[in-house]
Structure 1
């Protein structure tokens, strides 16, 4: 059953016969119902489906971050769409016919804010990660009040630990403590900066694979 949303001449949502109405990104659209296909997908199509599933599953927990800090909305593509597209095209490799993520090519955020200078991360006793970087507040649009966020991913558990606003750029160092579930496990680590106003971020930096101690 379809539902008219703006009177008889307005948009509608739902299915009527062979067409479907919906509101997408503020626009009323209609489309035909695709005919089902009995043709099995090709190997190339199956591989693309596997890549898409891998990337979407990985990025889903980062949605609230990438919705704000991954490029600019471009036409029909949201920032989430842009993040998925970038990751599929730039940060996936095929190993023995199976897609795998290339962690050092993944971008958590993508933007025009001046990034880190000589940032490094090290594991520390007590399940901690320490970050250091050099002062570059005089470069570009950097400000001492820019916030540092640290993103950690455990492939073994398929889970993230995210520490937003862990420090300001002017601090030149940050330290975070991970939950004990990650003790002894390898973590992929990224960090990024965003403005105090939360309206722009830098391209995230990949800081390596660290084993918690």
Structure 2
């Protein structure tokens, strides 16, 4: 059984279905137990299942982020997670030879109308992933908007994230990396949400780095 730590938007410990919540040196992270394909009937069906499974396994590692980032698309009985699945299966998959792979640069972990920042960068220093952005207030942006940041380790099927990593006006924040990620590549993202959590921005892919 899993245990929620900070309500539905926080992390959790234990296992719920194929999702495992853990903590390492004070860093909360989520890991997805890989889903398996059974009985593929045709080559086309196999590719479709492959797209579904790799997208599902990716998004399962960041469920609290997805619940916030895609909540505006949780309509007509569809959950935020299902909305994220639908969007990213169409826009976040690329074909490499005869197989499907995640197109990390085109994946969205948050989708909304809140203004983002014209300049967003990330850099790895020691065990820290540092993010910087231009805090300029365009359109509906406010200085009190919160920042959400995430690092995904595809090789290990794990993600580290913070749904309240600081305010837009701070212009920078960071994530602690897990010690067992040393030498691994990570995919990184940043998004904004307003203070009430009503509005969110589209997420920004901030690049791949090696820890």
TM-score range, shorter chain: 0.7 to 0.9
Q: Secondary structure at the match of 1:57?
A: helix
- Give the drift of 1:42: 2.2
Partner of 2:187: 188
Tell me, which stretches of 5 or more residues in structure 1 are unaligned? 1-38
Partners of 1:166 and 1:66 lie apart in 2 by: 16
* 1:119 correspondence with 2:126: no
Match of 1:21 in 2: none
1:99-110 → structure 2 map (5 Å cutoff): 99-110=100-111
Alignment of 1:168-183 (within 5 A): 168-183=167-182
Pick the structure with greater CA Rg. 1
**Distance between the aligned counterparts of 1:154 and 1:124, measured in 2?**
17
Structure 2 residue aligned with 1:198: 197
Question: Does the residue aligned with 1:192 lie in a helix, a strand or coil?
Answer: strand
Q: Report the counterpart of residue 74 of structure 2 in structure 1.
A: 73
Structure 2 alignment gaps of length 5 or more: 1-38
Give aligned pairs, total: 172
Write the mapping of 1:1-213 to structure 2, written as runs, cut at 5 A: 41-70=41-70, 71-125=72-126, 127-137=127-137, 139-212=138-211
CA separation of 1:123 and 1:82: change in aligned 2, threshold 3 A: same
Moved more, 171-180 or 151-160: 171-180
Distance 2:40 2:195 in 1: 51
CA–CA separation in structure 1 for the residues paired with 2:90 and 2:129: 30
Question: Cα deviation per residue 1:99-149 (whole Å; 9 max; x = unaligned)?
Answer: 100000000100111112201001112x11111111222x11111111111
Secondary structure at the aligned position of 1:65 is classed as helix
Given that 2:62 and 2:161 are in contact with CA atoms closer than 8 Å, whether structure 1 keeps it comes out as no
- The alpha carbon displacement at 1:88 in A equals 0.8
Shift of 1:177: 1.8
SS at match of 2:164: strand
Deviation for aligned residue 1:40: 6.8
**Cα distance in 2, alignment partners of residues 123 and 204 from structure 1:** 19
